[in-house]
Amino acid sequence: MTTRHDKGGSSAFTLERRAAGVLLHVTSLPGPHGNGDLGPEARRFVDFLAASGQGWWQTLPATPVGAGNSPYSGASAFAGNPLLISVDDLAVDGLLEPRDVRGVLDARRASYDEARALRRAALQRAFARHEGSPRRLAGALDRFRSDAAYWLPDYALYMALREAHDGRPWTAWPRALARREPRELARARRELGREVAFFELEQLLFRRQWQALRKYARARGVGLIGDAPIFIAHESADVWSHAPLFLLDRAGEPTFVAGVPPDYFSKTGQRWGNPLYRWRALQASGFEWWIERFRTLNRHFDVVRLDHFIGFMRFWRVPASEKTAERGSWQPAPGHALFAAVRDALGATPFIAEDLGEVTPSVRALRDELGLPGMRIFQFAFGADQQAEQFLPHCYVPNSVAYTGTHDNDTFLGWFQEDGSTGPRSARQARKERLAAIAYLAGPSARVPPAEPHWEALRTLYASVARTVIAPLQDILGLGNQARMNSPGTAEGNWQWRVPPRALTPRLAKRLHELARVYARLG
C-alpha cells in the first residue's frame, strides 16, 4: 500500500525513494496567538524544509484536541482542529478586519486556554461577517457539505449540543438525545441551527487553510505525513453517532477500554480509556467507518502513519472498572479483512506502520503483506526493547522509516544525557545505554561522546539503507529534555513545546541540506 495513487486523490510523493523529513506538530510553530497554526509561520517552516533538502513534514493528528490538550484524543476522528486556524489568514481572506487580529500571547509554550478563547472570538466575528454576506462562501460551503456528508452533520450537531449542555458528556444529555431518537435530533437541529452553522463554517475554514498549506508545500517539494490514532475518545461525535460500533453498555458507557500492558514506559501499563470497537459490527458494515476515515485523511496528507498498528491484529482489552491496565487480555482484530476492504474502496493507500511494542509474527505478516514500512527508533537500539537489535542502523531494511525518536520519547540529547534519576531507566541502565551509543556513534573503543551526539545520530541514520529518515525538530536543534513533547502516562505539561525564536537559521538549513545531499536524500 505504498504506491503513489489512491481513489481519494493522487500524490507525486512516495516512500519508495530515499528522502528525509522533520517531525513537528503544527502547534509547536512560533507565533503570537497562543499556539502554532496554519498561517505565515507554517509557510515559513515549509520554506525552511525546502531549503534544507527535506522531502517530508510529519505532524501529529490534526483533529480536535481532547483531555490534556492531547491530539490523540478529541471530539472527532474526521474534523480539523480549530486551534490550528490562522486568524492572520482569515484577515487576508477578508473574513476579519485587520483590527480583529490582536492579542499577543507568550510564544515560549503553547497556551491552549488563551489560544482557544482568542480563536473562538475571531471565528465568531468571521461567522458574523459570513452571515452578513453569505454569498461569499455559499458555493464553497455547499461543496464542503456534500464532500463531508458522512461526518459533518453529526459533528456540527454534536458540538452544538455539547455547548448547549455546558460541556457535559453525551451520556449525561437527555436520554432521547443520547440515544439519537430521530424526532429529538430534528428538533435540536432546528433550535440550534445557528450554532450548527457556525461549526460547519469553522470546519470549512480549517479545510481551506489546510489545503492551501498542502498546496504550498507540494509546490516546494515537501509532502505531508499525518498520524491516525487507532482508538477514538468516548467523548466524541464518532462514538455518539456510531454507538453500535463500540463496546458500550445500555447507558452508553464503555464496558472495556483500550490500553497496553506493562512496558518500558509504565510498570502498570497504560490505561488509555478509549472505548473498544465491536469489530464484528464494523466488518458487517463493510468497514464503512474506517474507509471514510481513511478517505478523509487522504485528502489532507500524502502519507498516513498508523498509530499502534499492532491493534489491527490484536488489542489489549481492559475492563472499564480497572484503574490500571495490568489486568487486561489480548483479543484478536480483523486486520487482514479491514485493509482488504480499504484497498478495494480506495486503491493503494500510503501508510507507515507504527509497529512498536509487543509485535507478534502475525503483526509483521500483516505489515509485510501490505508492503508497509515499519518504524525504527534509534533510541530503542541500546536498551531492553524486544526489537532493540532491529533498531540498530546496520540492521535496517530499505522499506522502513528511521527516527532518532518520536513525540513520546525524550529528545535524543535528553535521552543521551539522562542519568537515570528522572526517567524510567535505572542509573546503571542509563549508563550502559549511553556507553553503547557512544561506541556505535564514535567507534568501538571510544569512551568520550562525540561533540554533537544528536548530529552524529542524524548522520548515522541518513547513511543507513532506510529509505525514509524522520527526525523531531528538537533533535535537529540539539535540545535537551526541556523540549520533550509528551511523557506517556502523565496528564499534565504535555504538548506545549514550541520552536524557539530565530532557531531556524539559514546556517542550519545549509547544514541539513548538505547531510541530505551527501547521503542521497535531497527532497
Catalytic positions are 307, 354, 408
Pairing of strands 223-228, 303-306: parallel
Measure Cα distances from 441 to 34, 108, 416, 447, 454 in Å: 39, 32, 12, 11, 10
Distance between first and last Cα of the chain: 21
- Output the nine-digit C-alpha cell for 204: 470549512
CA–CA dist 476, 408 (Å, integer)? 17
Q: SS3 of 317, please? A: strand
Q: Are 494 and 68 in contact (CB under 8 A)?
A: yes
Q: Which long-range contacts (CB under 8 A, 24 or more apart) does 279-285 make?
A: 279/333, 279/334, 281/244, 281/245, 282/245, 282/338, 283/334, 283/337, 283/338, 285/245
CA–CA dist 45, 30 (Å, integer)? 10
Please, what sign has the CA dihedral across residues 487, 489, 493, 498?
positive
Q: Are 412 and 454 in contact (CB under 8 A)?
A: yes
Q: Are 472 and 406 in contact (CB under 8 A)?
A: yes
Phi-psi domain of 151 (left: phi exceeds 0; alpha: psi -120 through 50; beta: other): alpha
CA–CA dist 462, 14 (Å, integer)? 17
CA–CA dist 259, 326 (Å, integer)? 9
Q: Any bridge partners for residue 468, and if so which?
A: 19, 401
